[in-house]
Amino acid sequence: MTAISAEPTRRDFLYIATGTVGAIGAAATLVPLIAQMNPNASTIAAGAPIEVELGPVAEGQVIKVFWRGKPVFINHRTKKEIDEARSVNLASLPDPQPDSARVKQGHDQWQVLIGICTHLGCIPLAHSGDYNGYFCPCHGSQYDTSGRIRRGPAPANLPLPPYEFLSDTKIRIG
């Protein structure tokens, strides 16, 4: 029998050191097990930017393109739709954002957004709902012609993808 002493012994140190190394090792083992579930290299590579020709999109038409598996809506808005989007009292919006911050300057007619409802990921229908914008059939969220949430359970405006105008009729998304 070893006498129990209040002083830490060399054996205590060895126990703690061994336990610590074991715990760190176990935690390190979790890293690959968890990381393997994140997007793999080919998925990331397939998420490269895409270019879209805007010429064929008529005024009042909405086209859908896919970027990273997500539908991107490109809405060639009419003058009426732009006016509707700009005449809203911002203070009344759940997620206040001026329309000008949701389009590229000088390209007011082109509304480019990710067509995924910010509630639970359904795809809203274009040109529908009470605000003539987007209506999500799953749980009834309503967006206006700027893609801003107006009513329903969605917490935020439809997100904007990163994109830029290469020319007046061509954009690059991503």
- Active-site annotation holds for 139: yes
Per-residue string for binding with other proteins, 71-90, x by CB under 8 A? x-------------------
Q: What is the DSSP letter of 92?
A: G
Determine the interface stretch with other proteins among 12-20, 67-75, 76-84, 162-170 (rule: CB under 8 A): 67-75
Closest C-alpha to 159, from 107, 132, 130, 124 = 124
> CA-CA distance, 148 to 81, in Å (whole number)?
13
User: Measured from the CB of residue 66, what is the shortest distance to other proteins in angstroms?
Assistant: 7
- Residue 123 sits in the site that holds other proteins (CB under 8 A): yes
Closer CB to other proteins, 101 or 120, in the complex: 120
> CA-CA distance, 12 to 54, in Å (whole number)?
72
State the DSSP H helix or E strand holding residue 165, giving kind and residue range, or none if neither: strand 163-167
Residues found near other proteins in the complex (CB under 8 A): 34, 37-40, 43, 47, 64, 66, 68-71, 118-123, 136-140, 152-155
